[in-house]
Chain A
Amino acid sequence: MTSLAPFVIFFVGAALVAVTQGVLRSVILLTIPIVGAWNLYAMADGTTTVVNLFDYELTIVRLDRLSLLFGYLFHLATLIGVIYALHVKDRVQQVSSIIYAGSALGAVFAGDLITLFAFWELLAVSSVFLILARRTERSMRAGMRYLIIQVLSGVILLTGALIHIHQTGSIAFDYIGLTGLASWLIFIAFGIKCAFPFLHNWLTDAYPEATPTGTVFLSAFTTKVAVYALARAYPGTELLVYIGGAMAMFPIFFAVIENDLRRVLAYSLINQVGFMVCGIGIGTALAINGAVSHAFNDVVFKGLLFMTMGAVLHRTGKMNGSELGGLYRSMPWTTGFCIVGAASISAFPLFSGFVSKSMVMVAALEEGHPIIWLALLFASAGVFHHAGIKIPFFAFFAHDSGIRCKEAPRNMLLAMALAAVICIFNGSYPWVLYSMLPMPVEYAPYTISHVLTQSQLLFFSALAFCWLKLAGIYPPELPGVNIDVEWSYRKLVSSIFARLAPLGIAAHRSVFDRWRRWLDQFFTQIYRHHGPYGILARTWRTGSMAMWTAILLATYLLVYYLSH
Chain B
Amino acid sequence: MNSQLPALQIVLPLLGAVLCAVLRKGNLAWGVALVTSLAMPVISGLMLQDVLASGPISYAMGGWAPPFGIEYRVDAASGFLLLLISLIGAVIMPYARLSIAAEIAEQDVPWFYTMYLLCLAGLLGIAITGDAFNAFVFLEISSLSTYAMIAMGKDRRALLASYQYLIMGTIGATFFVAGVGLLYSMTGSLNFVDVADRLAEVGTSRPILAALGLITVGMSLKLALFPLHVWLPNAYAFAPSVATAFLAATATKVAVYLMLRFMFSIFGVSTTLANLPIGEIFVTLALAAMFGASIVAIFQENVKRMLAYSSVAQIGYITLGIGIANQAGLTGGIVHLFNHAIMKAALFMVLGAVVYRIGSVKIDALAGIGRRMPITMGAFVIAGLSIIGTPGTAGFISKWYLAVGAFEKGWWWLVFLLVTSSLLSVIYIGRVIEVTWFRPLSKEGEKASETPLSMLIPTLILVAATIYFGIDTSLTAGIASKAADALLAGLR
Contact = CB atoms under 8 A, between A and B. Distances in A.
A549 B228 contact: yes
Contacts of A132: 434, 437-438
B445 to A, nearest CB: 16
A441 interface: no
Interface string A524-556: 001100111010110110100110110011001
Given A151-B426, A163-B407, A531-B299, A549 B221 contact: yes
Contacts of B431: 144
Interface string B373-388: 0000000000001001
Interface in A412-453: none
Contacts of A534: 296, 299
A299 interface: no
Interface stretch (B167-175, B185-193, B248-256): B167-175
B292 A564 contact: no
A143 B277 CA distance: 43
A539 B438 CA distance: 32
A557 B309 CA distance: 28
Interface stretch (A33-41, A154-162, A244-252, A466-474): A154-162
A345 B483 CA distance: 60
Contact of B438 (A140, A548, A559): A140
Instruction: Choose among A117, A133, A158, A532 the residue with the greatest number of B CB atoms under 10 Å from its CB.
Output: A158
B390 A125 contact: yes
A159 B416 contact: yes
A81 B204 CA distance: 70
A148 interface: yes
Given A151-B423, A158-B419, A530-B295, A559 B276 contact: yes
B45 interface: no
B281 interface: yes
B407 A166 contact: yes
Given A155-B419, A540-B230, A530 B204 contact: no
A152 B299 contact: no
Contacts of B420: 155
B471 interface: yes
A155 B426 CA distance: 12
Q: How large is the interface on A (under 10, 10 to 19, 20 to 34, 35 or more residues)?
A: 35 or more
Given A159-B415, A557-B209, A552 B228 contact: yes
A537 B300 contact: yes
A156 B437 CA distance: 29
A553 B422 CA distance: 30
B99 interface: no
A182 to B, nearest CB: 9
A54 to B, nearest CB: 5
The A interface is mostly helix, strand or loop, or mixed, namely helix
A333 B437 CA distance: 36
Contacts of A545: 164, 167-168, 228, 230-231
Contacts of B209: 557, 560-561, 564
A318 to B, nearest CB: 23
B124 interface: no
Interface string A129-169: 00011010000100110011001100110110011001000
Given A152-B423, A549-B168, A122 B277 contact: no
Contacts of B437: 92, 132
B426 A147 contact: yes
Nearest to B425: A151
A125 B300 contact: no
Instruction: Choose among B206, B233, B309, B390 the residue with the greatest number of A CB atoms under 10 Å from its CB.
Output: B390
Interface residues of B, number: 66
Interface stretch (B49-57, B60-68, B212-220): B212-220
Contacts of B390: 121-122, 125
B164 to A, nearest CB: 5
A158 B296 contact: no
A118 interface: yes
Contacts of B163: 542
Interface string B34-56: 00000000000000000000000
A526 B217 contact: no
A532 to B, nearest CB: 5
A534 B420 CA distance: 22
A283 B277 CA distance: 51
B19 interface: no
A559 B281 contact: yes
Contact of A563 (B206, B275, B385): B275
A550 B491 CA distance: 31
A89 to B, nearest CB: 13
Interface in B406-437: 407-408, 412, 415-416, 419-420, 422-423, 426-427, 430-431, 434, 437
B403 interface: yes
Contacts of B160: 539
Contacts of A564: 204, 209, 275-276
A53 interface: yes
B378 to A, nearest CB: 9
Contacts of A114: 391
Interface in B337-364: none
A372 B127 CA distance: 68
Contacts of A559: 276-277, 281
Given A53-B473, A526-B295, A539-B234, A144 B434 contact: yes
Given A92-B437, A151-B426, A545-B231, A556 B168 contact: no
B298 interface: yes
Nearest to A558: B213
Contacts of B298: 530
Nearest to A561: B209
Contacts of B221: 549
Contact of B392 (A118, A135, A526): A118
A143 B426 CA distance: 12
Nearest to B217: A553
A552 B391 contact: no
Contacts of A122: 390-392
Contacts of B275: 563-564
A162 B403 contact: yes
Interface in B290-349: 292-293, 295-296, 298-301, 309
Interface in B425-464: 426-427, 430-431, 434, 437-438
A148 B424 CA distance: 9
Interface string A296-334: 000000000000000000000000000000000000000
Given A117-B391, A122-B391, A548 B419 contact: no
Contact of A548 (B213, B227, B293, B434): B227
A122 B385 CA distance: 10
7 contacts: A117-B391, A143-B434, A162-B415, A163-B415, A545-B164, A557-B213, A561-B209
Given A114-B391, A549-B168, 11 more contacts: A135-B438, A147-B430, A527-B299, A532-B300, A536-B295, A553-B213, A553-B217, A560-B209, A560-B210, A563-B276, A564-B275
Interface of A: 53-54, 92, 114, 117-118, 121-122, 125, 132-133, 135, 140, 143-144, 147-148, 151-152, 155-156, 158-159, 162-163, 166, 181, 526-527, 530-532, 534, 536-537, 539-540, 542, 545-546, 548-549, 552-553, 556-557, 559-561, 563-564
Closest 3 CB pairs of A and B: A155-B419, A118-B391, A556-B213
